[in-house]
Structure 1
Amino acid sequence: MIYQNPIVKGFYPDPSVCKVGDTFYMVCSSMQYFPGVPLFQSKDLINWEQIGHCLTRESQIALTGVNSSGGVFAPTIRYHEGRFYMVTTNDTTHQNFYVWTDDIMGEWSEPNYVDQGGIDPSLYFEDGRTYFMSNGSDEDGVPGIVQCEIEIETGKKLSKSKTIWQGSGGRYLEGPHLYKINGSYYLLAAEGGTEYGHMVTYARGNSIFGPFTSYASNPVLTNRNLGGYEIQGIGHGDLIEDNHGNWWIISLGFRQIGRWDTFHHLGREVFLTPVTFQKDGWFIAGEQGTTQRTVDTDRISDSVVQKKVKSVTFADTDWKKDWSYLRIPTEENYRIQKDRVQLHGTDVTLDQADSPTFLGLRQREFCAKITCDVQTDSGEAGITCYMDENHHYDLAIREKDKVFEIIERLNIGNIKSIEHIVIQKGSKIRFQIVAENSKYHFYCIQEDKESPIVLGEGLTRYLSSEVAGGFTGVMIGLYASDQKEGSFANFTNFTCEYV
């Protein structure tokens, strides 16, 4: 078949995958958003369905007041003796922990914490023992990939933390995963930073503890030298064997907005690359070590059809799976129904690293048309293209002295500018956003008029990671602020049509 990368689009970074029977399961980072760690399943590695989240309770993850792009980093999912484990880092509190479940469709446990530093933790099981690894420095101060044995029931350390590999020479060694394949141990990692120099590297050894010999042609997978190519930042991978004995790397990457426009705002996404083991036991990946947009492979049956999401509405999304809050929400501020949502805004705004009244959906394609009807009798309510508290574009209706204003606001760093104000009589407005690779076009449509009013534009580059920093992607958010007590803004007729 011929498939297109990315296989999961939008802000779903740091993928990790495991297989149970004929089904694959995948988790991704969620940073400051809640619920935490989106969970997917697939039968063919191409089409992924989100089935829930691993962190669904405040007791599992401390997100109150965390900085943007803090919170939940780089999870790993593993399956052992009938139980699923998800291990991750709260980068804000500098804690590594894991949760578990015996029912992948059910709730996950309370966290067990591991007293080892670093980020990007992973688990490896062998002979009744559990090994925990992360990046950082060991107890002797040696930097690299650090490993210890733990008691899986509690997270208690059973051995000294010791560095087992120091990488191939790239900066920011991270994302370790250990596998035993055909009698050898393979240690996969990321180097170069989750930017344009990102890469997948690996080493091989005869013992869990090493020594590990680096692959002579590292990096095994990177797009760092593909100047002008849409797909960049390939790295942070996880190896997986399919149901037919073929191997693959599932990794993160991102799409830049144009051939020579080195900005990306959709976030880090999920990519699939074929892996081939050679006779000497080393493996190669991709097309001459790169991940391509279009992959023609005989490893997947031609009967598999890659599904595309073309339209999203309230009715065909799941509020608990597809939508996210900023940090831990105050539940009484949300009234959610199948075809509408009502939001009570507080004095917490989108400009704060806090929990404003907000529900967000990941933007998955560059080109889209987004429409929503918004009505409020007090305060402010609207729709936002949201990267973080300092970088977001807002379309809002607000009440000021019993007069309703329609505004377009651009927030770029410490510059916060209302670009357009339209006065209207009623409390209801239809907003429309037309998204392109390099630009958002903003409109409103008043109830008594057929033609849209042009509110302005916003360049996507100012919501990109290259400008805003951080590790997230643009969310299409619905929000409210400063409502009177007992007042709720009403959101209906939401559609997001991808071109």
Structure 2
Amino acid sequence: MIITSSMVIKKRNTLGKGIAFIAMAISLQISPLFGQGSVTSKATNPIIFSDMPDLSMIRVDDTYYMSSTTMHMNPGLPLMKSKDLVNWELFGYGHTTLQDMDELNLDNGKNAYGNGTWASSLRHHNGTFYVSTFAQTTGKTYIHITKDIENGPWEVQEFEPMMHDHTLFFEGDKIYMIWGGGKLNIVELKSDFSGIKPETQRVLLENATLPSTAAGTKGGLPAEGSQLFKVNGKYYLFNISWPPGGMRTVIVHRADKLEGPYEGRVVLQDQGVAQGGLIDMPNGEWYAYLFQDYGAVGRIPFLVPVKWEDGWPVLGINGKVPSELDLPANKGLIPGIVNSDDFSRKEGDAALPLVWQWNHNPVDELWSVTARKGYLRLKTGRIDQSFLQARNTLTQRTIGPTCVGSTAIDISHMKDGDFAGLSLLQKNYGLLGVRMSGNEKHLVMINATTGTPEEVATVAVNQKIVYLKAMCDFTNKEDVATFYYSVDGKAWLPIGTALKMTYTLPHFMGYRFGLFNYATKQAGGYVDFDFFDIHQSEH
């Protein structure tokens, strides 16, 4: 079921609750490629300086809709909308729990890091919206169907097999999927979306990688990430490849008929900006939506202007990705993509705004925003020895080029062995939290830069409330984070060592701020988070 909610956007009373930050205005237009901090009335690339990969986009009248990937996060399959292609707002998710299984529940030492769902396909056909995706974790393909994408209700169909990196495509009264890597397959779906028609499956392209990589070449990554479009009666199949020794590359195959034959060419090879498809504007202009691997912050979306020449889409300005676009200016990612939260809720508010996602499936009875008004309570329910296996870590994206996340925690109800605090989540994570040992509490900074967590700092704690802060610098892929603590929310002290953040393939996700609490000796303790503040910072 698609999850939707009105955004909960509130301001923190800095005098009343102790945080001594003033969020900067997020009107700075920033490009990691072409300079930073320049103010302009036009949009700049990247359009979203945060982890938002595997884009699929449509336009319905004057509104653009987009789906993306969040892998093992819950809820997953984020859905966004925009009026200008630049400024986006989360309005829903494709799913909460894909399935009740050990990998998605972080049970019995199992996890779904780097798995879950990704590379969705968003389509609008005959007044109906379709969001299809797949999950390696469950081995299934999923299709979500509704007449009203923002409000539902939704019908969900799921079936086997899992179709990797597929594109959903409608041709008359027939429904197709194209999927695969290198060798691309096409199959017709049943009219009720309950499965495939096996007798219709065939190879569409034997080697979709050829335009970028000569046959027989070893290494690199084959063409994948299929997205098919029909423009002026012709069919355009977008794929990404990664030639050995080269960079991420956009390939397009064109045909006069769906079944082919297809001819292909490289349409963009610049700074690794690749994977996505086409979107048109009401005024007749065209763009390609793509993304770039940008180190620890994740895979960040770009828009590239498109012109049509001899029936082919020509991407970029003289083959290059522009830093500036003839589109309205970026207004920042707060509050549409990330946002601060004081955990105060009025009647009718969602328990958690859509900017929040749990690391894997949560245990709902162990968290609350109503048990104590104005606080997020995280209660322990089992014994864990590893942060990455602990349940109920609540996360938000980090954003570039720099950002700061901070929180305050009431630690007066912890139990022996509990560990709670602020994290930067990825395989090589950083933690700053309070650990209770016997009757004593200490602030502990754990640095997993090397892949192995190391306890690098310990400070005794005597007060009931502690303030924690993490600062991230993704400028020019610097990818360094530093941690701080305070006893009053005003005077901050550095603690521990710098975390060198690394985008690792086992997790396949940009770093995220996280609020965590887990037990190592006995269950039943809890902590109350007073707020979470996120803002961009001066470099």
TM-score range for the pair, normalised by the shorter chain length: 0.7 to 0.9
The correspondence for 1:322, drawn from 315, 339, 355, is 355
Tell me the CA shift for residue 48 of structure 1. 0.8
Tell me the CA shift for residue 252 of structure 1. 1.6
The correspondence for 2:403, drawn from 360, 368, 388, is 368
Give matches, 1:179-194, under 5 Å: 179-192=229-242
> How has the CA–CA distance of structure 1 residues 114 and 99 changed in structure 2, closer, same or farther, with 3 Å as cutoff?
farther
Q: Which structure 1 residue ranges, 4+ long, deviate > 6 Å from structure 2?
A: 193-196
User: Amino acid of the residue matched to residue 85 of structure 1?
Assistant: Y
Give matches, 1:60-209, under 5 Å: 63-64=104-105, 65-105=110-150, 106-115=152-161, 118-136=163-181, 144-158=183-197, 159-165=199-205, 166-169=207-210, 170=213, 171-192=221-242, 197-209=247-259
SS where residue 63 of structure 1 aligns?
Answer: helix
Per mean C-alpha deviation after superposition, the further-off stretch among 393-402 and 169-178 is 169-178
Query: Identity percentage over the alignment?
Result: 23
CA distance in 2, matches of 1:355, 1:72: 21
The correspondence for 1:331, drawn from 364, 379, 389, is 364
CA distance in 1, matches of 2:389, 2:201: 35
Match of 1:228 in 2: none
CA distance in 1, matches of 2:375, 2:498: 27
> How has the CA–CA distance of structure 1 residues 194 and 49 changed in structure 2, closer, same or farther, with 3 Å as cutoff?
farther
CA distance in 2, matches of 1:179, 1:5: 24
User: Amino acid of the residue matched to residue 290 of structure 2?
Assistant: S
1:237 aligns with 2:276: yes
Tell me the CA shift for residue 157 of structure 1. 2.2
Match of 1:385 in 2: 424
CA distance in 2, matches of 1:122, 1:352: 36
1:314 touches 1:340 (CA, 8 Å); kept in 2? no
User: Amino acid of the residue matched to residue 464 of structure 1?
Assistant: T
CA distance in 2, matches of 1:12, 1:412: 23
SS where residue 297 of structure 2 aligns?
Answer: coil
User: Amino acid of the residue matched to residue 362 of structure 1?
Assistant: R
1:433 aligns with 2:470: yes
Deviations 1:114-144 (A, max 9, x none): 53x55111111111111111114xxxxxx51
Match of 1:272 in 2: 303
User: Amino acid of the residue matched to residue 317 of structure 2?
Assistant: E
Structure 1, unmatched stretches of 5+, are 137-142, 225-232, 256-263
Match of 2:22 in 1: none
CA distance in 1, matches of 2:450, 2:139: 26
Deviations 1:322-345 (A, max 9, x none): 011111110011112584311113
Tell me the CA shift for residue 491 of structure 1. 0.7
1:313 aligns with 2:340: yes
User: Amino acid of the residue matched to residue 113 of structure 1?
Assistant: F
User: Amino acid of the residue matched to residue 63 of structure 2?
Assistant: T
SS where residue 265 of structure 1 aligns?
Answer: helix
The correspondence for 1:472, drawn from 509, 517, 533, is 509
Per mean C-alpha deviation after superposition, the further-off stretch among 340-349 and 74-83 is 340-349
CA-based RMSD: 2.6
CA distance in 2, matches of 1:360, 1:112: 27
Tell me the CA shift for residue 415 of structure 1. 1.9
Tell me the CA shift for residue 444 of structure 1. 1.1
> How has the CA–CA distance of structure 1 residues 42 and 451 changed in structure 2, closer, same or farther, with 3 Å as cutoff?
closer
- The two structures have a TM-score, normalised by structure 1, of 0.85
> How has the CA–CA distance of structure 1 residues 110 and 189 changed in structure 2, closer, same or farther, with 3 Å as cutoff?
same
- The two structures have a TM-score, normalised by structure 2, of 0.79
User: Amino acid of the residue matched to residue 396 of structure 1?
Assistant: G
CA distance in 1, matches of 2:297, 2:209: 30
1:9 aligns with 2:49: yes
User: Amino acid of the residue matched to residue 404 of structure 2?
Assistant: K
